[in-house]
């Protein structure tokens, strides 16, 4: 079985399991989506949602966060990992959005990736989930799963993104990104499946006997 055949099997399984894919990060608009994605680095979506549910009803525009200032933002998000760095990024990007983009989140990769704390993955999520642009955000979890499933040889997330885009139809990217995340959390967990027990792993690799060691991004 080659990677093209595996990709078709994987897509079929994921579409059956997850016909709908709600966005896991709670948000009110494109700006709060951008902030939530930025805050989600090195923590869970659940942690971010628990913090932002008390923030977004009152603060949900760049102007609000500029007025708050960096220290007050720190206090609001201090239960999230690396909160000082994230608070600085949120404050600075809020200022830039007001000064250069009329308070609006830009709808292109170039401008998004110029914002403090916004890398390609964060920009891809915003473009996909905020603007409906066909993008394939790849984080370390998707990178790990793509290796387990034989879709990439996994040197880095950039290569994994490129490989996945070649294998799957463009119209599926936005939904598939979330389907893979949901499946990984529920069935193909890092420290439970090891490439041996979930339906995708056993279907794509029925003869696999030893745990698969994946390369970190």
Query: CA angle, 45 as apex, 41 and 49 as ends, to 5°?
Result: 115
pLDDT in tens, 156-188: 999 999 999 999 999 999 999 999 999 999 999
pLDDT in tens, 30-62: 999 999 999 999 899 999 999 999 999 999 999
| pTM (predicted TM-score) | 0.92
Task: Categorise residue 205: left if φ over 0, alpha if ψ from -120 to 50, beta otherwise.
Answer: beta
Query: Which residues, at least 6 apart from 90, have a Cβ–Cβ distance to it below 8 Å?
Result: 35, 38, 39, 65, 73, 77, 117
Per-residue confidence at 64, pLDDT binned at 50, 70, 90? very high
CB 164 within 8 A of CB 181: no
What is the residue-averaged pLDDT of the chain? 96
Q: Could you give the CA distance from residue 144 to residue 99 in angstroms, rounded to a whole number?
A: 39
Q: Tell me what percent of the chain is helix, strand and coil, each rounded to the nearest 5.
A: 60, 0, 40
Active-site positions read: 121, 139
Nearest by Cα to 138 from 198, 178, 81, 187: 178
Nearest by Cα to 34 from 114, 144, 134: 114
What's the whole-number mean pLDDT along residues 207-217?
Answer: 87
- For the chain, domains (ranges, CATH) are 3-21+136-204 (1.10.1670.10), 30-131 (1.10.340.30)
Answer yes or no: is pLDDT of 217 > 80.
no
Q: Could you give the CA distance from residue 47 to residue 216 in angstroms, rounded to a whole number?
A: 23
Q: Could you give the CA distance from residue 96 to residue 196 in angstroms, rounded to a whole number?
A: 47
What local confidence, expressed as pLDDT, does residue 81 receive?
A: 87
Q: Could you give the CA distance from residue 136 to residue 119 in angstroms, rounded to a whole number?
A: 14
Per-residue confidence at 215, pLDDT binned at 50, 70, 90? confident
CB atoms within 10 A of CB 41: 18
pLDDT in tens, 116-158: 999 999 999 999 999 999 999 999 999 999 999 999 997 899 9
């Amino acid at each position: 079985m080659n990677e093209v055949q595996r990709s078709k099997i994987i897509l079929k399984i994921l579409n059956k399991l997850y016909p709908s894919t709600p966005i896991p990060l709670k948000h009110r608009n494109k700006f709060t989506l951008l902030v939530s994605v930025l805050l989600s680095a090195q923590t869970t979506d659940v942690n971010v949602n628990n913090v932002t549910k008390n923030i977004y009803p009152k603060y949900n525009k760049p102007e609000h966060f500029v007025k708050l200032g960096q220290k007050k933002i720190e206090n609001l998000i201090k239960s999230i990992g690396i909160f000082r760095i994230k608070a600085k990024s949120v404050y600075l990007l809020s200022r830039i959005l007001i000064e250069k983009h009329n308070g609006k989140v830009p709808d292109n990769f170039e401008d998004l990736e110029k914002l403090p704390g916004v890398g390609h993955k964060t920009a891809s999520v915003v473009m996909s989930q905020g603007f409906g642009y066909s993008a394939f955000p790849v984080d370390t979890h998707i990178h790990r799963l793509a290796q387990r499933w034989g879709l990439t040889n996994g040197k880095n997330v950039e290569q994994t993104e490129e490989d996945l885009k070649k294998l799957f139809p463009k119209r599926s990217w936005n939904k598939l990104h979330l389907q893979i995340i949901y499946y990984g959390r529920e069935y193909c967990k890092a420290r439970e499946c090891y490439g041996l027990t979930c339906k995708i792993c056993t279907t794509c690799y029925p003869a696999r006997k030893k745990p698969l060691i994946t390369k970190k991004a």
